[in-house]
Amino acid sequence: MLRRAVPYLAYAYVSLVGRTNRVTVVGADVRDKIHASGRRFVYAFWHQRQVYFTWSHRGVDAAVLVSRSKDGEMIAETMRLSRIKAVRGSSTRGGAAAAKEMVDILRSGWDVGITPDGPRGPARKVKPGVLRVAQLSGAPIVPIANAQSRRFEIARAWDKFHVPLPFGRAAVVYGAPVEVGPEDDLDKKAAELEAALDLATAEADRLVS
């Protein structure tokens, strides 16, 4: 019963956070220009910062990769309540099937989202899955970050996971798109995406400091 209740409690809590934080959004025109050109894209964001996106991107036409773990089941249900589709899989379980599903979703006219260092790290290191989805679909990757002036960090978590707190300031930052061509070196593209994500994250932190 507790596991069934957690998604509803999480949804209510994130709603409180979202409604009581003053948010600044930077770079949303990146997203708008891609959509205006008739393309969809892959959101990439660090695992540490995922909670606030269930508010800032509530109800958008996007599907996000969620692990097949028991915790992932609760996250997927929280996302359903937030009107965000979940694709179940990870780098270790169901990865190939999830990647294919995400490519199909992109081609159907929705965006997709991936935490490229999740679900277990190492923190802020891009794994190849997000690059392969972009390469197979031809969709650009848009690095995105958020930050809050009031938050709790779980020190024992592998990525020092952020839990936003109510009654503060928040920022959402979109970075420049990263294109992955069929002949591109994925190691170099991983480094490019890491740098873009770290830059967006630093800017989000600066905006709420």
Residues 21, 14: Cα–Cα separation, whole Å: 11
Q: Which whole number is the average pLDDT over 2-8? A: 87
Q: What's the total number of domains in the chain? A: 1
Q: Give the Cβ contact number of residue 186 at 10 Å.
A: 15
Is 59 exposed, middle or buried, given 0-12, 13-18 or 19+ CB atoms closer than 10 A? exposed
Residues 102, 132: Cα–Cα separation, whole Å: 11
Q: Where are the alpha helices (H) located in the chain, listed in sequence order?
A: 2-20, 28-36, 50-56, 70-81, 95-108, 128-137, 186-208
DSSP string, 143-195: EEEEEESSEEE-TTSTT--EEE-SSSEEEEEE---B---TT--HHHHHHHHHH
| Token pair in block for residue 74 | 């609760």
Structure confidence by residue, pLDDT tens digits, 161-198: 999 999 999 999 999 999 999 999 999 999 999 999 99
Helix (H, G, I), strand (E, B) or coil at 60: coil
| Token pair in block for residue 180 | 């992955």
Helix axes 128-137, 186-208, angle to 10 degrees: 110
Q: Give the Cβ contact number of residue 116 at 10 Å.
A: 25
What's the sign of the alpha-carbon dihedral 169, 10, 27, 48? Answer: positive
Q: pTM, whole model, 2 decimals?
A: 0.93
- Residue-range definition of the domain harbouring residue 28: 2-208
End-to-end Cα separation, the chain, in angstroms: 39
In which band, very low, low, confident or very high, does the pLDDT at 89 lie, cut at 50, 70 and 90?
confident
Structure confidence by residue, pLDDT tens digits, 19-62: 999 999 999 999 999 999 999 999 999 999 999 999 999 999 99
Whether the predicted pLDDT of 94 surpasses 60: no
Whether the predicted pLDDT of 11 surpasses 80: yes
Residue whose tokens read 């070196």:
185
Question: At 100, which CATH number?
Answer: 3.40.1130.10
